[in-house]
């Protein structure tokens, strides 16, 4: 039987987050142009500021899979995974200076319009169907991962959790369009960073100082960064993380429709802004992952049975 460990304030914060997301959707549905045009609904009238777009770019693929999965990865296999942030630094200027100006200059709604211009309608249809299948599978995992955690800490049935979160996200996205998506991403990003920093502080207090996190990580053999093997069968090496990280980054942040749609919602004169946007987003991703990999695993080194069960459950299942 699952033992609920959520307190009153936990439920208040969780409920307030869901309610705030819904209210953001309602606000943008009944303000401005009321989402009556394609430009407003899909592209937020192409006049959004750099900061919310940059944060949204970061948040788009910072799901429960990242927050929980990367933490579990570093707990079980060590912090060498942070080397992937070097790949982000390499790939960011490639994306912002070679890919984004092309898409931004065309001012298209989706990447698939570019594919039609370049290769014809059949390639556009094929890519659209492939992307749709990918996102259906991806979103299923994104909803299932937090459902497991909520079940472990609240006793809430997984199906109910999936329905509540899925319906809330569908509600505010459908009503408020891209503006609602941007500002809910902003809200949820602040909450993610707040949670990560809270773990840093809590771990430091529990262990008797910030440096103790790394001392215990070292004792557990989780600070080994010496694997420069070129063997592709190795789980993580410097070469696999840097080369694979560059390819992964470009696939997500240079040509992915989810990201490029956000890039296209900035003002007409914002090529420089887009580059800053991209680099800011990459920095936020790197910061968040570094915090997760540098502290969640270490904080739970000697408390895995009590605190780390959710991460292990998701990782192994």
Within a domain: residue 256?
A: yes
Within a domain: residue 247?
A: yes
Within a domain: residue 2?
A: no
Q: Which two tokens stand for residue 114?
A: 């570019």
Within a domain: residue 301?
A: yes
pLDDT of residue 83: 87
Task: Determine the Cα–Cα distance for residues 28 and 36; give it in Å rounded to an integer.
Answer: 11
> 171 pLDDT band (50/70/90 cuts)?
very high
pLDDT of residue 287: 47
CATH number for the domain spanning 280: value is: 1.20.1730.10
> 10 pLDDT band (50/70/90 cuts)?
confident
Task: Determine the Cα–Cα distance for residues 271 and 276; give it in Å rounded to an integer.
Answer: 9
- Domain membership of residue 230 as a residue range: 8-316
E strands, 138-236, where?
Answer: none
Give the DSSP letter of residue 80: G
Task: Determine the Cα–Cα distance for residues 262 and 52; give it in Å rounded to an integer.
Answer: 10
Number of domains within the chain = 1
Within a domain: residue 277?
A: yes
The model's pLDDT over 135-157, given as tens digits with 9 standing for 90+, comes to: 888 888 888 888 887 887 777 88
Task: Give which of 188, 179, 161, 262 is closest to 20, Cα–Cα.
Answer: 188
The model's pLDDT over 239-281, given as tens digits with 9 standing for 90+, comes to: 999 999 999 888 888 888 887 777 777 655 454 455 445 554 5
Within a domain: residue 3?
A: no
Model's pTM, two decimal places? 0.78
> 298 pLDDT band (50/70/90 cuts)?
very low
The residues facing 48 across adjacent strands are: 266
pLDDT of residue 258: 80
């Amino acid at each position: 039987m699952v033992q609920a460990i959520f307190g009153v304030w936990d439920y208040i914060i969780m409920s307030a987050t869901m309610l705030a997301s819904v209210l953001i959707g309602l606000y943008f549905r009944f303000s401005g142009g009321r989402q009556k045009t394609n430009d407003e609904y899909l592209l937020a009238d192409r006049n959004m500021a750099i900061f919310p777009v940059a944060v949204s770019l970061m948040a788009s693929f910072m799901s429960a899979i990242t927050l929980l999965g990367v933490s579990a990865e570093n707990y079980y296999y060590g912090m060498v995974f942070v080397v992937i942030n070097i790949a982000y630094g390499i790939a960011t200027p490639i994306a912002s200076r070679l890919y984004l100006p092309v898409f931004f200059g065309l001012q298209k709604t989706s990447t698939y319009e570019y594919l039609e211009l370049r290769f014809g309608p059949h390639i556009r249809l094929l890519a659209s169907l492939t992307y749709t299948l990918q996102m259906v599978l991806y979103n299923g995992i994104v909803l299932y991962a937090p459902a497991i955690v909520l079940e472990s800490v609240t006793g809430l049935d997984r199906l109910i959790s999936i329905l509540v979160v899925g319906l809330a996200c569908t509600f505010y996205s459908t009503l408020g369009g891209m503006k609602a998506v941007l500002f809910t991403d902003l809200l949820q990003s602040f909450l993610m960073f707040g949670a990560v920093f809270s773990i840093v502080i809590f771990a430091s207090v529990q262990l008797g100082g910030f440096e103790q996190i790394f001392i215990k990580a070292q004792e557990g053999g989780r600070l080994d960064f010496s694997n420069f093997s070129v063997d592709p069968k190795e789980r993580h090496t410097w070469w696999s993380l840097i080369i694979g990280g560059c390819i992964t980054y470009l696939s997500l942040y240079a040509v992915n429709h989810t990201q490029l749609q956000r890039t296209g919602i900035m003002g007409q004169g914002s090529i420089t802004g887009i580059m800053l946007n991209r680099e800011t987003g990459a920095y936020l991703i790197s910061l968040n992952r570094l915090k997760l990999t540098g502290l969640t695993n270490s904080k739970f080194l000697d408390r895995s049975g009590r605190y780390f069960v959710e991460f292990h459950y998701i990782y192994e299942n």
